[in-house]
Structure 1
């Protein structure tokens, strides 16, 4: 049965996410991705141009940050912690990008852009100082990325074993300070 071009692109992206997640950017091959998508490797190049462009599409994501202005101010840290845990656990692309950002400058720049570009405007709602908002966003990102690294990549036993609720209880107060606490 023939697939439409949209179906083929979707199959390639699914296969790419699986391979990048399992193997990382460096070890994932276009041939392995094509085999998993049940297509010829040339089709990957036809639709995405290169492995790097395919990775960029496979790891293209939105943190889908909630509107924290609807949350009581003293609960925004917990709300963000819960949301980020849900995103890390529900989206392979975030974990792929995190693993790859460790060794690839382009992936690192993409991760920086995602976290700075999406967290800073969210945090700016809680402070009048744009420089302060950027600093707070950077610190919140360091907490989120460090947690994700330990929980999903390194799988540090005490951290990986925590329930979602326990992570929110431990990390929420730290994020609270970065979001809306004193300097």
Structure 2
């Protein structure tokens, strides 16, 4: 194996271990030593590649929401499509749930979540809202809905939120997300 391949494999192992450890323990309790142990490497390697815990967290919290392309979609379906997409992501991505936990308890985590949603949801809002200047506000409103449901359903595990089927969640939240994105201002 070449040095570059070993380096890539080591980085990947560190990031995987860091994502799991941050999701499990939160930012404050996760340690470089525990992450290195999970990745089966020396802690100095973590420091070599990422500098410090903050640098490692920044790299580990790179999240691609993999938002759907909405270009050819009739605008009346945008809310339901987005809510369905977010539910699918939360259902299959424990790291995303872990990052939400970190985001509500840690300043760096909150900043990372803000950036992810602004960078990835902002362009969607800009592309569909009546006034592109309103996109940041509308994206924040959409984030309030999807993050609120994720917090209730996957972190706090509120029984009524957990017991709802995905179709029910989409039926409740889809129209609200739709309104936030495409309706004229109230």
TM-score (norm 2): 0.90
2:19 and 2:78 map into 1 onto residues whose CA distance is: 31
Note if 1:107 corresponds to 2:113.
no
| 1:60 match: secondary structure | coil
Note if 1:168 corresponds to 2:135.
no
Note if 1:6 corresponds to 2:8.
yes
1:20 Cα deviation after fit:
0.8
1:148 and 1:113 map into 2 onto residues whose CA distance is: 17
Deviating beyond 4 angstroms after TM superposition, the runs of 4 or more aligned structure 1 residues are none
| Aligned residue in 2 for 1:59 | 61
1:161 and 1:58 map into 2 onto residues whose CA distance is: 31
2:27 and 2:148 map into 1 onto residues whose CA distance is: 20
1:62 and 1:10 map into 2 onto residues whose CA distance is: 16
2:130 and 2:183 map into 1 onto residues whose CA distance is: 13
1:14 and 1:119 map into 2 onto residues whose CA distance is: 25
1:13 and 1:134 map into 2 onto residues whose CA distance is: 30
Question: 1:58·1:93 contact (CA, 8 Å) conserved in 2?
Answer: no
Encode CA deviations 1:84-139: one digit per residue, 9 max, x unaligned: 11222233332222111112222212211111222221112223423322211110
Unaligned segments of structure 1, at least 5 residues: none
| Aligned residue in 1 for 2:23 | 21
Of residues 85-94 and 66-75 in structure 1, the stretch that sits farther from structure 2 once superposed is 85-94
| Aligned residue in 2 for 1:73 | 75
Question: 1:60·1:93 contact (CA, 8 Å) conserved in 2?
Answer: no
TM-score (norm 1): 0.91
Of residues 83-92 and 2-11 in structure 1, the stretch that sits farther from structure 2 once superposed is 2-11
Aligned residues, how many? 183
1:107 and 1:149 map into 2 onto residues whose CA distance is: 15
